[in-house]
Structure 1
């Protein structure tokens, strides 16, 4: 735990002296959790990240250049970062070594005026559970799990809940405890368990994304940079542009491949397939209206002018230009007439 010793000495310095000691980076193994940190500027936010399920790293996978989930993304945004990577598949950040480390760490970070937390799923649980301890100001959570304490969430009947019972869910930091943290929770309201977990985060802004799902769908959304862009905005500005977020999710839902993949992922659930079908049909109509709206605002006259100017010397080129104009304005009478004339 060399970070704790370094911070203990660093905290005794003046602000200018502290800044002169930066940058400082390193890593520690805390039982079944690996932590990597990078401090660059005391005037910039300090971000805590916790890895989600699916990032199943073993101790033998660790090396000098290994980066926990979210670490490199934070570095690219020029924020200070402390990133925690769980080792093994069923790890829920319940190890006593980790908890002791966090309890000792938090009071040593007073030089950082803004503290952020970012996590998906299992990582979202850790952010929520340790938020008060770490004195987080803002958090960004994607479809998090609030706890695996069956007495608190009896409706969470996922297989991961049974597996997680090997840990203590009655002790400290086993349930969400946001303290004064504000921020955002993003989830799919059609996912029953995610929706019920999200309801427990009452003080956060709820952003709902139909079809986002949990796990399988997350990988697909990541392909379009969905998580990354939202996280980047959060790290840079400590807030999310809600209007831009809505536009981004709307654009994503217009992609036919989006529904094809969701249908494949939910092929065993007739209920969810029915929901997806309904949403898809609504979006088809919405997409048509969206296209028509933009078509109406497009000025095709320059295309027509160029086509008419070159129709005698280059009739084939003129036809191609008019075909483009027809796609943009299928009901324009002049375009129809000139195409018929040239063809």
Structure 2
């Protein structure tokens, strides 16, 4: 636990000298959790990240340049970061070595006045469970699990709940404890278990994304940068632009693949399939109106000018340019007339 010794010595220095000792980086193994840290500036936020399910690394994966989930994203935003990566499949950040480390770490972080937490699912549980201990100011949680204590959350009947019972869910840090932390929780309200967990985070701003699921679509959403864009906004500015978030989720719903995946995930529910079909038809009309609105703002004249300039020497290129212009503005009479001439 090299970081604890370093921080203990570092805290005895005057503030200006503390800054001159940065940057500092390192890593350590805490039982079945790997921690990696990078401090650059005491005047910038300190971000804690905890890995979600699906990032099932083992100890032999911890090569020199290994980065836990969220670590590189934090570095790119130029903030201080401490990232915790669970090892193995069934791991809920319950190892005593980790808990001892966090308890020793918390009082050594006084120079960092702004503390953030970011986590998905299992990582969201850890952020919520340790938020008060670490004195987090703001958190960003995607479909977090609030606890696996069956007495507190008897409605969480996922298979992961049964597997998690090998851990202690009555001791310290087994349930959410946000302290004074504010921030955002993002989840799918059509997922009954996620909705029930989210309800327990009453002090956070709830952002709902219908059809996001819990983990079924995580890779798909990540493909379009959904998680990353929201996280960057949060890490860089300590808040999420709600209007931009709504626009982003609306754009996501315009993608046909989104509905194909939702239909596949809900194949066993005729009721859910009917709701998806209705929503899809509404979105088709909405998408057409959206496209028409943006087409009205597109200026295709530069494409037409280039096509006319080179129509004699390069007629095929001119046709291609005009075809692009026609796709942008299908009803333009000049484009239609010139295409007929050149073809």
Superposed pair shares fold, TM > 0.5: yes
**2:57 alignment counterpart:** 57
Alignment partners' CA distance in 1, 2:81 and 2:299 = 49
5 Å matches for 1:1-343? 1-301=1-301, 320=320, 322-333=322-333, 335-336=335-336
Alignment partners' CA distance in 1, 2:309 and 2:51 = 61
5+ unaligned residues in a row in structure 1: which ranges?
none
How far residue 318 of structure 1 moved from its aligned partner, in angstroms, is 5.9
Which is further off, 327-336 or 115-124? Answer: 327-336
Alignment partners' CA distance in 2, 1:305 and 1:3 = 64
Q: How many residues align?
A: 343
Alignment partners' CA distance in 1, 2:55 and 2:312 = 64
What's the TM-score once normalised by structure 1's chain length?
Answer: 0.92
How far residue 39 of structure 1 moved from its aligned partner, in angstroms, is 1.2
Cα-to-partner distance string for 1:208-227 (whole Å, 9 max, x where unaligned): 11221111200111111111
RMSD: 2.2
Alignment partners' CA distance in 1, 2:277 and 2:270 = 10
Structure 1 residues 284 and 97: alpha-carbon distance in aligned structure 2, compared to 1, 3 A threshold = same
Cα-to-partner distance string for 1:284-340 (whole Å, 9 max, x where unaligned): 111101011122233445555666677788776665555444433334455555655
Cα-to-partner distance string for 1:68-115 (whole Å, 9 max, x where unaligned): 111111112111111111111111111222111111110110001110
Which is further off, 15-24 or 315-324? Answer: 315-324
Structure 1 residues 331 and 108: alpha-carbon distance in aligned structure 2, compared to 1, 3 A threshold = same
- Give the SS at the match of 1:66: coil
Structure 1 residues 308 and 139: alpha-carbon distance in aligned structure 2, compared to 1, 3 A threshold = same
Alignment partners' CA distance in 2, 1:307 and 1:28 = 62
Structure 1 residues 284 and 16: alpha-carbon distance in aligned structure 2, compared to 1, 3 A threshold = same
Cα-to-partner distance string for 1:135-171 (whole Å, 9 max, x where unaligned): 0011011110111111221111101111111112122
- Give the SS at the match of 2:103: helix
5+ unaligned residues in a row in structure 2: which ranges?
none
What's the TM-score once normalised by structure 2's chain length?
Answer: 0.92
Alignment partners' CA distance in 1, 2:57 and 2:307 = 61
Structure 1 residues 156 and 332: alpha-carbon distance in aligned structure 2, compared to 1, 3 A threshold = same
How far residue 42 of structure 1 moved from its aligned partner, in angstroms, is 0.8
Alignment partners' CA distance in 1, 2:307 and 2:248 = 36
- Give the SS at the match of 1:25: strand
Structure 1 residues 69 and 302: alpha-carbon distance in aligned structure 2, compared to 1, 3 A threshold = closer
Structure 1 residues 97 and 308: alpha-carbon distance in aligned structure 2, compared to 1, 3 A threshold = closer
Alignment partners' CA distance in 2, 1:310 and 1:98 = 69
How far residue 188 of structure 1 moved from its aligned partner, in angstroms, is 1.2
Alignment partners' CA distance in 2, 1:315 and 1:100 = 74
Alignment partners' CA distance in 1, 2:80 and 2:137 = 15
